[in-house]
């Protein structure tokens, strides 16, 4: 198991997943095997502390792209559960997301 540093969020985006650089609705219940962004094949299951006790994303260790495992709606719901644990809560409450 590896531990990564805090996710970096773009405070200008309005949607919580947009802020993480996750766009669209495509999901990957099992690993896509290859990053859809950079075509790299170093993908790891990424668990978000406080959101869910199992991985929410397949993280590309080459470019950092996050592939959603669950639907956008469910992923957002789980991420919002982790909101109090984020170290930059300002990014989470800007632009009307609550
Ligand atoms: Zn990649």
Q: What is the pLDDT of residues 71-82, one digit of tens each?
A: 999 999 999 888
Rounded to whole angstroms, how far apart are CA atoms 33 and 41? 6
In the predicted structure, residue 87 carries a pLDDT above the cut 70: no
Q: Is residue 48 part of a domain?
A: yes
Q: Is residue 11 part of a domain?
A: no
Q: How far is the CA of 11 from the centre of ligand 1 (A)?
A: 22
The pLDDT value given to residue 78: 94
Q: How far is the CA of 96 from the centre of ligand 1 (A)?
A: 30
Could you tell me the residue range of the domain that residue 27 belongs to? 16-94
Q: How far is the CA of 30 from the centre of ligand 1 (A)?
A: 16
Counting the structural domains of the chain, the total is 1
Burial readout 23-48 (b: 16 or more C-beta within 10 A, e: otherwise): eeeeeeeeeeeebeeeeeeebeebbb
- Could you tell me the CA-to-CA distances from 96 to 14, 29, 72, 76 in Å, in that order? 7, 30, 18, 14
Q: Is residue 71 part of a domain?
A: yes
Q: Is residue 86 part of a domain?
A: yes
**What's the rounded mean pLDDT across residues 36-51?**
94
Q: How far is the CA of 85 from the centre of ligand 1 (A)?
A: 26
């Amino acid at each position: 198991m590896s531990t990564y540093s805090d996710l970096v969020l773009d405070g200008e985006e309005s949607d919580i997943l947009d802020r993480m650089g996750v766009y669209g609705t495509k999901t990957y219940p099992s690993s896509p095997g290859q990053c859809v962004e950079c075509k790299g094949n170093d993908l790891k299951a990424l668990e978000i502390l406080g959101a869910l006790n199992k991985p929410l994303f397949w993280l590309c260790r080459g470019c950092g792209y996050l592939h959603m495992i669950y639907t956008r709606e469910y992923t957002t719901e789980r991420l919002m559960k982790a909101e109090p644990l984020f170290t930059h809560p300002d990014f989470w409450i800007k632009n009307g997301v609550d």
